[in-house]
Amino acid sequence: MVLAQRKSGDALGAEIVSLLRARLLSWYEDARRDLPWRRTSDPYAIWISETMLQQTRVDTVIPYYRRFLREFPTVALLAEAPAEQVLALWSGLGYYRRARMLHAAAKRIEREHGGSLPSNLEELRRLEGVGAYTAGAVASIAFGRRAAVVDGNVARVLARLFAVEEDIRSARGSARVWRLAEQLVPHGDGDPGDWNQALMELGATVCSPRDPKCESCPVQKHCQGRARGIAARLPRVASKRPPKAVRRAAIVLASTGAVLLARRRTDALFGGLWEPPSVDGEMSTLAARLGVDEGALTHVGEVVHVLSHRRMTVDVARGDLDVARRRRWPLPGPEYDAVEPVAFERLADRGQATLSRKILAVANVAARGLRCDK
């Protein structure tokens, strides 16, 4: 029986909803992956996992999740921690605004909620960095509240299952997907958290972006997209603009025991993180700002780093760092608020983006302690 609904309101019949829930939940019980955040009922740990999983692969998140909870097993410890330590533990995970918002939200939870995560959607949404998806995930998984979630996996599953041909990132397409998701969440006859995770699991492991494994799908017989032969072309998403090309220059000044790093302002890209001094434009500009002789530098290569909105090509040069002779360094540019030599054994204590690690690697500078423990 292929699903049918009135497109004008996307009203789903009770029989279809019940059938979908039964089949997908039965599949999830047998097929779900054994992930560390599925072994806990602690709302705090679930919140951490959902924040880390935003736009980040599960395999990448797992070691960060484990290390983060080892260091900060409670909201109170996270709230009390220095921002520098939080960013250091997040180094390499990307989207660093998540870490800053997580830290700010922990402080709010301590201040306004007695150290316990609120359980309802409205209060969750008031926390820094918590949007509709994260609020729904935490409310349903941690507290059993009836709340829908729509992330990339869920949107793809629902777009194919109900043949949603609108751009799912448009206001109209997004609203339609959310309406469908809200109707499917169990109330009184099932676990909303398990249902939401089942949808996400189906999208992550079976209903994949390319070459969906339709033959392995527990609800394939009810999929409108498959029945119409358009499943692989869904969901429809408008093309993104290509990232802007940006050229930068970076100077790595290192001795046998330390390297010069600068900290980016909190309102700048990679805010609060440390990196070798760099600048948009020419190496000569950066050398002049640092007061070093460009002729004494050695060009060691280029680094390419692609973000969603820009493609950075960084020209990297290396020079000697004489800590004894020079103890004060000028700021490399307006996007920085601090600059200082950092001992190699202390690099792991300084939050760094992946770009910074690439630059240090090209310059053949020791970066002991920077890898995330697994």
Task: Classify 252 as helix, strand or coil.
Answer: strand
φ/ψ of 92, rounded to 5, equals 95, -15
Q: How far apart are CA 86 and CA 358, in angstroms?
A: 21
User: Among residues 29, 50, 166, 335, which one is catalytic?
Assistant: 50
Q: How far apart are CA 245 and CA 242, in angstroms?
A: 9
Q: Which amino acid is at 145?
A: R
Measured CA angle at 9 (ends 200, 237), to 5 deg? 50
Q: Which residues on neighbouring strands pair with residue 340, listed in sequence order?
A: 261
Please state the length of the chain: 374
Q: Which residues on neighbouring strands pair with residue 128, listed in sequence order?
A: none
> Strand ranges (DSSP E) for 210-309?
244-254, 258-264, 274-275, 278-280, 298-306
235 prior amide bond cis, ω within 30: yes
Measured CA angle at 115 (ends 111, 116), to 5 deg? 125
Task: Classify 159 as helix, strand or coil.
Answer: helix
> 221: which 2 tokens?
């017989």
Q: How far apart are CA 352 and CA 140, in angstroms?
A: 34
Cβ contact 75:44 at 8 Å: yes
> 206: which 2 tokens?
């079976």
Give catalytic status of residue 50 as yes or no.
Answer: yes
Q: How far apart are CA 256 and CA 276, in angstroms?
A: 16
Residues with a catalytic annotation lie at 50
